[in-house]
Amino acid sequence: MIFRTISQRKKTVKIILNLLTALVVIVCLFPFIWTIMTSLKMRVQTIDPSVWFFTPTLDNYRAVFQKRDLLFYIKNSAIIVFFTTLISIVLGTMAAYGFARFRFNRKEDLAFWILSLRMLPPMAVVIPFFLMGRFFYLLDKHIFLIIVYLSFNIPFTIWMMRGFIEDIPQEIEESAWVDGCSRFQGLMKIVFPLTMPGIVATAIFCVIQSWNEFALAFFLSSFNSRTVPTTVTFFLTVLGVIWGEMAAVGVVATIPILIFAIIVQKYLIRGLTFGAIK
């Protein structure tokens, strides 16, 4: 009788937890589902949020690709995100290796200073960046946004990768040195492969941060290097907000990140749990 009561309690708790989990999932997914629904409505229907049943249309998607030239802004975002992530991973991992393996004066103070660069809000640095870009004639160029994005992606990469590298026993590297590898060869052949899950996890966060960034891209570009997030301003008109086209851009902008995350999800899970079990 006692065991039956305990079993019933466990089943009840399990059902409650499943219901709570389902509720959290629905709450998290509802904004994206609503965005998809809005993107498939006609312009008149987007004004009335009570319209739940309607005939889907792709007019908003045709408009953003044909009239707004969305592919051009997707290309800009892809170029900037690719080079920003690549450079951040290479330089950030090298710097993280230095913090993880070498001892020098005021190491932790320097590490905290690097982290503090990530704490700066974009609006606090947009004016200095704008003045430097104008002085060097780099405004509205891809290279300038890449440099600007590196200023907050490299500190993030250093702090992420430092933890992953510190979880690797140094004895593994030392055994490679005994076999004739230099420190750089040990880094390339031992550390990089072992930290690949962490590198992928860090790269995903760098991609998301760079892809979604709005303030710096909006103020430091005008046309040639404008990214996808800045296109939301196109739909703010004197006649109101064009919700359907804005929602269509939101859906399209989400797809590349979802595809990238699905492709590397195996490495992402391993990276997020790397070092959790000793």
What is the DSSP code string of 228-252? Answer: GGGGGGGGEETTEE-HHHHHHHHHH
Separation CA 225–CA 77 (nearest Å) = 8
In this predicted model, what pLDDT tens digit does every residue of 89-100 receive, in sequence order? 999 999 999 999
Pairing of strands 236-237, 240-241: antiparallel
Residue 278 in any domain: the answer is no
Contact 227, 221 (CB under 8 A): yes
Contact 225, 140 (CB under 8 A): yes
15 with 31, same domain: the answer is: yes
Q: Which domain holds residue 9?
A: 2-59
Each residue's pLDDT tens digit in the chain (278 positions)? 555 676 787 788 888 999 999 999 999 999 999 999 999 998 888 887 778 888 889 999 999 999 889 999 999 999 999 999 999 999 999 999 999 988 888 888 898 898 888 888 888 899 999 999 999 999 999 999 999 999 999 999 999 899 889 888 888 888 888 888 888 888 888 888 888 888 888 998 899 999 999 999 999 998 899 999 999 888 888 878 888 999 999 999 998 888 887 887 776 666 555 554 44
Looking at residue 204, what DSSP letter applies?
Answer: H
Residue 277 in any domain: the answer is no
Separation CA 246–CA 38 (nearest Å) = 9
93 with 208, same domain: the answer is: yes
79 with 55, same domain: the answer is: no
Which residue(s) pair with 240 in the sheet?
237
pTM of the model: 0.85
Phi then psi dihedrals of residue 185, to 5 deg:
-65, -40
Domain count within the chain: 2
Q: What is the pLDDT of residue 273?
A: 59
Separation CA 120–CA 100 (nearest Å) = 24
